[in-house]
C-alpha cells in the first residue's frame, strides 16, 4: 500500500505548487509499487514465474478470482501490476512485469520440513489446489520452493550437513548472507520431478520478518533474472549458421565487386536479398539481445545485494552463477555484435555498389549525350547541304 498524507496536508501542499506533470504521481509512487513481503519463520514460499506473452491482465485476474473470497476482484485492482492477497493463514502475491508474471504463495512450513529433515515431501502441504497452480496462465520459466527455517549458524559444519540432507544429499552451493552473516542460503539448483527447484534459507531466531522477506525476494529474483537472461542463448545459437552463411555470401559479393566478375544488376539482386535477411534477423532479435543484457545486469545487482561470504567447503551462489552465466552472456553479446557488424558491412557494400552503378550510369548518360550531339551536328550538316542544293536548283 502506498503511504498517504492526511487530506489537510495534501490540499495545503498542493495549493502552494504549480500544476502537476501528468506522470508525477505515477513516477513518485513507483518506489512504493512492490513493497517487500514480511515473512515470519518457519515459512515455505511457493514461487512460480510464467512468461506472459499473449496473456492479458484480465486472464490473470480471472485466475486470481478462483482464490477463496476473491470472486469480486476486478482488472482495475491489478492496474498497478502488483497485488497481495491475504487469506486464511497464507498470502498470495501477484506481480506482472514486461515479459513475465510472478506468483508467490507464502505459507507456514510443514512440520516434516524443518532443518534436519531428509528431502521432505512438500507438495502435500500446499495450501492452494494443485489445479490452481497448474492452470496459471502462461508458460513456466521458473518454479521454486523456498523453505525458510531456524538454525544455529555458529555450528557451521553441522548446519551445512543438515542442509545437504534437507536437499536430498546432493552437491550444494551455500553462502553466508549480509555483512553480519544474518542468514545462510543453500541450494543445488536442480529441477526435481515435480518441476520445482529447491532453496533453503537458514536463519537464527532473532531474524526480523522484514529481513527474511528481503532475503526471499532477492534469491527468487536472482534465479528468475538468470533464467530470463539465458533466453537469449538459444537465439544466439540458432543465428550462428545464418550469420556464417551471410558473412560468406558478403565476402563473395565483395570479391565480385573487386574483380568485376559479375554484372552489377546480378550483384545488386544478391545484395538486396542478403540485406533483407540480415535486417529481418536484426528486427526479430534485437529486443531479446537487449533484454539479455538488462537481465544480466539485474543478476549482478542482486548478487551484490546479497553480500555473500563463502562457507568453507562450498562455492557461493554468486560465484556459481557468474561462472555459469558469463559464458552464455558472452555468447549472446558476441552474436549481437556479429549481427550488428554484418549489417554495417552490408550497408557499406551497398554504398560501394551504388557508387559503381551511379558512375556507370553517368558514363552511359555521357555517351548518350555525345551520340545525341553528333546526331544533331549531322542533322545540321544535312540540312545545310539540302538548303545549298535547293538554292542551286532554283538558280
Task: Give the sign of the dihedral formed by CA 121, CA 122, CA 126, CA 129.
Answer: negative
Domain boundaries, the chain: 39-230, 232-376
pLDDT at 182: 87
Residue with cell 557508387: 355
Cα–Cα distances (Å) from 189 to 106, 293, 323, in that order, read 20, 22, 14
Residue 4, pLDDT > 60, answer no
CA-CA distance, 33 to 49, in Å (whole number)?
18
pLDDT at 140: 97
pLDDT at 387: 65
Q: How confident is the model at residue 20 (pLDDT cuts 50, 70, 90)?
A: confident
Residue 167, pLDDT > 80, answer yes
Q: How confident is the model at residue 14 (pLDDT cuts 50, 70, 90)?
A: low
User: At 70, phi and psi to the nearest 5?
Assistant: -110, 20
Average pLDDT score over residue span 1-20: 61
Who wins on pLDDT, 359 or 156? 156
Q: Do 64 and 81 contact (CB within 8 A), yes or no?
A: no
Residue 13, pLDDT > 60, answer no
pLDDT at 363: 67
- Longest CA span, the chain: 136
pLDDT at 1: 47
pLDDT in tens, 187-196: 999 999 999 9
- For 392, which DSSP code? H
Percent of the chain whose predicted confidence (pLDDT) is above 70: 87
pLDDT at 382: 72
Cα–Cα distances (Å) from 326 to 232, 237, 334, in that order, read 13, 15, 12
CA-CA distance, 271 to 246, in Å (whole number)?
10
pLDDT at 187: 93
Q: How confident is the model at residue 9 (pLDDT cuts 50, 70, 90)?
A: very low
Cell for 157? 559444519
Q: Do 343 and 282 contact (CB within 8 A), yes or no?
A: yes
Residue 388, pLDDT > 70, answer no
Strongest mean pLDDT among 12-21, 198-207, 343-352, 369-378: 198-207
pTM recorded for the entire structure: 0.83
Who wins on pLDDT, 9 or 85? 85
CA-CA distance, 108 to 53, in Å (whole number)?
32
Q: Do 94 and 78 contact (CB within 8 A), yes or no?
A: yes
pLDDT at 393: 65
Average pLDDT score over residue span 44-61: 96
pLDDT at 378: 72
Classify strands 91-96 and 82-86 as parallel, antiparallel or unpaired: antiparallel
pLDDT at 83: 93
pLDDT at 268: 80
Cα–Cα distances (Å) from 268 to 113, 236, 278, 314, 347, in that order, read 69, 28, 15, 60, 12
Residue with cell 527455517: 149
- For 74, which DSSP code? -
Residue 265, pLDDT > 60, answer yes
Q: Do 349 and 257 contact (CB within 8 A), yes or no?
A: yes
Amino acid at each position: 500500500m502506498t503511504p498517504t498524507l492526511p487530506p489537510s496536508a495534501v490540499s495545503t501542499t498542493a495549493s502552494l505548487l504549480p500544476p502537476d506533470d501528468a506522470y508525477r504521481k505515477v513516477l513518485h509512487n513507483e518506489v512504493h509499487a512492490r513493497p517487500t513481503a514480511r515473512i515470519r519463520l518457519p515459512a515455505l514460499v511457493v514461487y512460480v514465474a510464467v512468461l506472459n506473452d499473449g496473456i492479458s491482465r484480465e486472464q490473470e485476474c480471472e485466475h486470481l478470482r478462483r482464490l477463496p473470497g476473491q470472486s469480486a476482484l476486478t482488472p482495475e485492482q491489478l492496474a498497478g501490476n502488483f497485488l497481495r492477497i491475504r487469506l486464511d493463514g497464507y498470502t498470495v502475491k501477484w506481480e506482472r512485469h514486461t515479459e513475465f508474471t510472478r506468483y508467490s504463495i507464502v505459507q507456514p512450513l510443514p512440520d516434516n520440513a524443518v532443518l534436519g529433515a531428509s528431502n521432505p515431501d512438500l507438495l502435500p502441504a500446499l495450501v492452494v489446489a494443485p489445479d490452481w497452480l497448474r492452470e496459471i496462465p502462461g508458460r513456466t520459466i521458473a518454479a521454486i520452493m523456498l523453505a525458510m527455517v531456524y538454525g544455529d549458524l555458529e555450528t557451521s559444519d553441522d548446519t551445512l550437513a543438515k542442509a545437504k540432507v534437507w536437499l536430498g544429499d546432493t552437491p550444494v552451493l551455500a553462502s553466508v548472507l549480509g555483512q553480519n552473516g544474518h542468514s545462510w542460503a543453500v541450494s543445488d539448483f536442480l529441477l526435481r520431478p515435480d518441476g520445482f527447484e529447491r532453496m533453503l534459507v537458514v536463519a537464527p531466531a532473532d531474524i526480523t520478518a522484514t529481513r527474511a522477506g528481503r532475503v526471499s525476494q532477492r534469491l527468487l529474483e536472482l534465479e528468475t533474472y538468470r533464467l530470463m537472461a539465458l533466453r537469449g542463448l538459444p537465439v544466439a545459437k540458432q543465428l550462428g549458421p545464418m550469420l556464417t552463411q551471410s558473412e560468406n555470401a558478403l565476402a563473395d559479393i565483395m570479391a565480385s565487386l573487386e574483380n568485376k566478375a559479375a554484372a552489377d544488376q546480378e550483384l545488386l539482386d544478391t545484395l538486396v536479398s542478403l540485406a533483407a535477411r540480415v535486417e529481418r534477423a536484426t528486427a526479430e532479435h534485437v529486443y531479446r539481445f537487449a533484454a539479455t543484457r538488462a537481465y544480466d545486469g539485474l543478476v549482478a545487482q542482486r548478487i551484490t545485494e546479497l553480500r555473500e561470504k563463502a562457507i568453507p567447503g562450498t562455492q557461493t551462489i554468486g560465484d556459481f552463477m557468474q561462472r555459469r552465466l558469463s559464458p552464455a552472456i558472452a555468447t549472446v553479446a558476441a552474436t549481437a555484435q556479429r549481427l550488428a557488424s554484418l549489417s554495417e558491412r552490408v550497408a557499406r557494400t551497398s554504398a560501394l555498389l551504388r557508387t559503381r552503378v551511379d558512375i556507370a550510369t553517368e558514363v552511359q548518360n555521357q555517351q548518350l549525350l555525345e551520340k545525341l550531339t553528333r546526331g544533331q551536328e549531322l542533322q545540321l550538316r544535312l540540312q545545310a547541304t539540302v538548303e545549298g542544293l535547293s538554292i542551286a536548283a532554283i538558280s
